[in-house]
Amino acid sequence: MRAFREAVEKRDLDAVEALLAEDVVFSSPVVFKPYTGKAMTAAILREVIEVFEDFRYARELEGGDGRDHALVFTARVGDREIEGCDFLHVGEDGLIDALTVMVRPLSGAQALAAAMGARFDAIARQAQAGQETRSAGRTR
């Protein structure tokens, strides 16, 4: 998905968040259980963009129906080089309803898990604040 790729490359997390469905499911490369919801997914993405250094997309693949996309990337976490892929599924409304991230090698995934684990309290606070903001906007 070109819009997602361009927003990530520009580090425009507001634009990334705008592309997410409210009930998006985010599957992490380092946690078994997926995370559900726009607020949590956006909070995770806001932190991971800070953790990844020298991040760049190398190529983009699209499924035949235009709803499935794979964005292959490289990055670094500390001294660990990472190769990975963002798998996106776009719902009928044009918003991303599923985002699965995979990374290799194992040592890179472990470095990512440690770095993100250290930030999880901040992620949870951001997600809660984002959810409260969206809830307040719906009650107006």
Name the one residue in this structure whose structure tokens are 């599923």: 98
CATH 3.10.450.50 for domain 2-129:
yes
* pLDDT, tens digit (0-9, with 9 covering 90-100), for 6-51: 999 999 999 999 999 999 999 999 888 999 999 999 999 999 999 9
Q: How far is the C-alpha of 115 from the C-alpha of 108, rounded, in Å? A: 11
Its pTM stands at: 0.88
Does 137 have pLDDT greater than 80?
no
Q: How far apart are CA 79 and CA 15, in angstroms?
A: 29
The full set of domain ranges for the chain reads 2-129
Number of residues written out for the chain: 140
At residue 140, the pLDDT reads: 54
